[in-house]
Amino acid sequence: MKPAPKPAATKAQMQRLLDSERFLRPWKFRLIRADGQECVVALPNSPSLERPGGIVNGPALMAAADVAMWLAIKSRLGMAHDALTSDLNTVFLAPATTKTVYCTARILKVGARRFFGTAECHDRSGRIFTHHTLTYVRVT
């Protein structure tokens, strides 16, 4: 794979999106980095995310994967462009109980209309909680 292109969006622009979109605000996602190919977001754990058993609920981890890939694409195309999720497959591998969940998304293929990539939710040491594959379709 070729070296990542220059990010087409700044970290501040992308964090602002996470903070301003009403549907995203409750998650309190924090952008760690996004370089046009790979994106890492942090999801702070809290009692409001816990399902019975004291583990982070599954939709929260799928949201993290969806958002991390969305920002990976924004960081490649620029904030004015948008893409919609067309497929998101998730495998839950281990319960997430850490204070912070990280999600790393990687674009593996950029087509004329479709983006394909993978994402993983993991802890700080790289222990994997979930594995995802995602396809996005460019709309603007």
Of 40 and 67, the one with the shorter C-beta distance to its own copies is: 67
CB 4 within 8 Å of CB 33: no
Among all chains, which residue has been given the structure tokens 């622009």?
Answer: 13
By CB under 8 A, which span of 5-13, 28-36, 46-54, 96-104 interacts with its own copies? 46-54
**Residues in binding contact with its own copies, number by CB under 8 A:** 44
* Least Cβ distance, residue 85 to its own copies (angstroms): 5
| 26, 46, 63, 76 from 23: Cα distances, Å | 7, 18, 10, 23
Between CA 75 and CA 11 the distance in angstroms is 9
Task: Please give the residue ranges that form the binding site for its own copies (CB under 8 A).
Answer: 1, 21-24, 26, 47-53, 57-60, 62-63, 66, 82, 84-95, 108-109, 111, 116, 118, 126, 128, 131, 133, 135, 139
